[in-house]
Chains A and B, each alone.
Chain A
Amino acid sequence: MDPTLIGQGLLSGLLFGGVYSLMAVGLTLIFGVMRVVNFAHGDMMVWGMYLAWMLSTRLGVDPYLGFGLCAAALFLLGWAIQRGLVHRIVDAPHEMQILLMLGVALVLENAALVAFGPDPQRVRSPLTAATVWLGPIFVDVARLVTFGLALALTLALWFFLARTDLGQRIRAAADNPYGALVIGTDVGRVYAAAFGIGAACVGAAGALVSPILPFQPAGGLSLSVASFNIVIIGGMGSLVGAFAGGLLVSVAESLGAVFLAPSMKELVSFSLLIVILLFRPAGLFGKRGT
């Protein structure tokens, strides 16, 4: 096996993993706080991509500058979905939650189909053409920037949850909603904020990945499944787990494409899932009982 190819596979996987991590961080935050699995996550990401596309084609805003706007728009969407729909089923059984979120996913997907048409799109940014060569190995600058921004956003989120007042309220509501209520936290608003932040993460992920990954309205489901897989591997509700899980899955898939037939690379990530579930059912960084 060619060592250059392995090195290249490792690097490409690691850099692409930043995006996986950011989308999984959003999902795990929502689950960690509300115990609701957001099956519309991938479709929200697709909307983030389309918003970045509109900013780029209509207003000429580069997605690496405009991702904050996409995150803000998705925050509002997430807030609205939580206040309008999700808060009604926070205490409902999981199957009812899943049905609602799949319904939201269907609406988002088909709204995108009506609004943007079926053609796959891709955002053009000057960065997408840039590469740096380290001897025989090349570094895709767009991926490097995406990775850096994803890392920074995850750190910012961690800081927000650990150090700010609202962050502490979110954690309190996640740990013990009743207790949070008793000490005067408006749990409903905290939930809406958490859902909004989760949606904003995936909106930012969508915008950042839009120059790398082509997208079309039907792309949401596979992104939801990928996020869900990563979150389970990392540990449901764990921020660190989601970040590490994203990198792990991406590197595993990339190396899978080096050593196996590339069409089998998804087998690698799902095999990883089975192994983790067998030996660490709570995930790599999950606490037992979550």
Chain B
Amino acid sequence: MIRGHEAMISSQLLISGVIFGLSIGSIYFLLAIGLSLCFGLMRIISLDQLLYYSLGAYLTYTVTLMTGSMWIGVLAGMAFSGVASLAVERFIFRRIYARDPTFSMITSFGILIGGVGIIKYFWGVVPRPVEVPTLIQVGIFGTEIPVYRLIVVAIACVVYIAIWFFLHRTIVGKAIRAAIEDVEHVEGLGINVSRLFTITFVIAGALSGLAGGLHAPLIMVDPSMGLETLAFVFMVVIIGGLGSIKGTLISALVVGQVVSLGSIIYAPMAQMAPFVIMLLVLLIKPTGLYGSAVISR
């Protein structure tokens, strides 16, 4: 496909494509980890994570306009998403934990659609741009790469390590991992499971908000951005397997690269290729790469 005299340009294109894919994959990872954790612990499919993603992006937009600093905007978006998810968890999800996972999917889809309506009410339907905080470019193998994308990747790495430490080294995290295995036992040990649920949900919501805030400068912020990202996040979660953080990381990286490199080869393929990969994975393993075959509850 690549001819000899174009090799120089192509290698540059390739490197920037890989970096682009890494940054997209990082954002998908931040989003998918919330969905995956919520499913693992509470056995709910929380589509409203996409709402916190949009809210995070919009808050980033507004606060960036007000303060001039995009990083304060991202923090504000993250905080607001956390608060919003806390409210949703308290008033809605509390009532439906005991039900079937698909039940929560319908409810959370309702929250997502309603949230899109709220966003339209406050911010209107016009897409909004968010300025990139730093326009510095660095050279990697002779290719100019925007430093912002590298920062996004670094933040995702930090989040992965932090989540790993939280789950493996703190007592609350250990309780969460135990509850993923067997929630009744953990409850029997006298641990407040409903507080664990709240903590997990708020962490998931805040991470989705962070993903939205970080994604905002790379795209236009518009009300249906959550719905547009939905399919990709689903693919990431399904390829990786629901409830597995390691699987989510690997599949987020794969989907990011496929989207980015696919669009270099043939633009419409960027959307289709992850879907084909997902179908292939499901053909071989119906629960995704790292998903468990049985639900213990």
Is the A/B pair a real complex? Answer: no
Interface residues of A (CB under 8 A from B): none
Interface residues of B (CB under 8 A from A): none
